[in-house]
Chains A and B, each alone.
Chain A
């Protein structure tokens, strides 16, 4: 574990924070295929970096999740790449990626130094592009998250993840090149989240993550021009939670594999909301920018709730609540 250590002469808030986790007495571990996470809380792709290793007790998270790695190196989108509007945060960072080789050379060693499993997010611009990236990443990382919220250049730019057939194709190809757990991260704008989740499950995925940010087009209130250099960006944060809650509920009823919820999680209560509709784990994205320790807080909060209620699992906690 990368130690969170404050300058001893002038201590900051980190030291007290890291020292006071509250005993992790309850076993909240969750299985994603062959991988066991000691807590069902992890960061969302693109909202975490190894830089946080010195700021928060990363080992209290279930996993680290990388920004999406694409097959070839490329820069991100023009500025502005992100902004905040009343409806939430909108980002069009794009896909600054060094390709699997660049990732393994520069970023991966820093992830590997963190004392948690690394889930490597992988993307592509056509269904055929995913498996080669996963193959190139080889034995690195503990699991792969397939980001299918990417325009399919084989099919007119419609998201790969909105097309069950394309999802099947991606997952089946990746399944052939790795034995590690495969998580498929689905987009919001799909005709049927149940069909998409089932396609992932049937093709061999070990979990689905629901969901990515919601495509949006923020305009500058004064000039009426797009704020983002890329015109379109992804809306994230608390306002998307009621939309994603429904998707998690529907996906959980459609598949047997775990559903990882992602969208507007800020607190342990948000996580419990998702658990109550069927999620097995949660990812924390936007909330980490304002509070770098947000995901750790969620994990600690779940422990605390279970301890307080004297139960051993989140399911029991929810049943107890429901029985009240």
Chain B
């Protein structure tokens, strides 16, 4: 941010490596003198985030020993994280690519409403899921088109999409909460059916994260995303179709919103225009706390997911401890600051 070069002259501490893997290898090579396990751990990226998460876990274990570490609580945390988690994956792409997507929550709401209209529900659960995904992708494509070909600022284009998608969702649903019909309970089963103790939707979440990681780190699309976000002019000169790529990033984010819509339908058994309120802030915050630069060109999926887990665990801890919301808010603010400062320290001590 401000004063990167500052006194140390060295890498802005908040910048994570572009390629997670490379950096690990590099780090490992750089310190051949201390091959101990401890130093290995010390070299890991996202150390601050892991430490913050660990601290939170310790707090959980101390304050509510009987509840926090139970498997059902962990499942519950993962299930809670999965909706925003899926959205966060798409958001990570968009932000690395130099943009921002404020419309995620609203697009998810719209997709959930569209998929739960009686007309759609008549075709069964598979069509509902496809419908949600198509609606999400379509909305993302439209934002992307406005941004890359209409050359609108992402903030404004996706803000317009936010407002319009919420309006449309309200209109389609007539502002009612639309229940998933009993015929289509296969959707709800995603939340209630468990495999190896985990609800199906947690697997969806994991799958999206894994695919996101692979696409970002192992495909030309992913690598070009860094170029488009980090130095669009260089990307253009290298022959990358920056506009089309940008549009695809928003489509990808929309796709993730569509998947998130399926998850939220499963969890709440409804489609509603009120779903996903303020998700955009949570998702962006998770991405940024995970070390992705808001200016684009740098960031990791793992960081974003860790950032998100921190937020989810905080909320979980508060409720387990029966804290009141005001105190929760104050504590949340403090914890964010501490987590970020920890992350900074751990990065700095590495160089």
Q: Do A and B come from one complex?
A: no
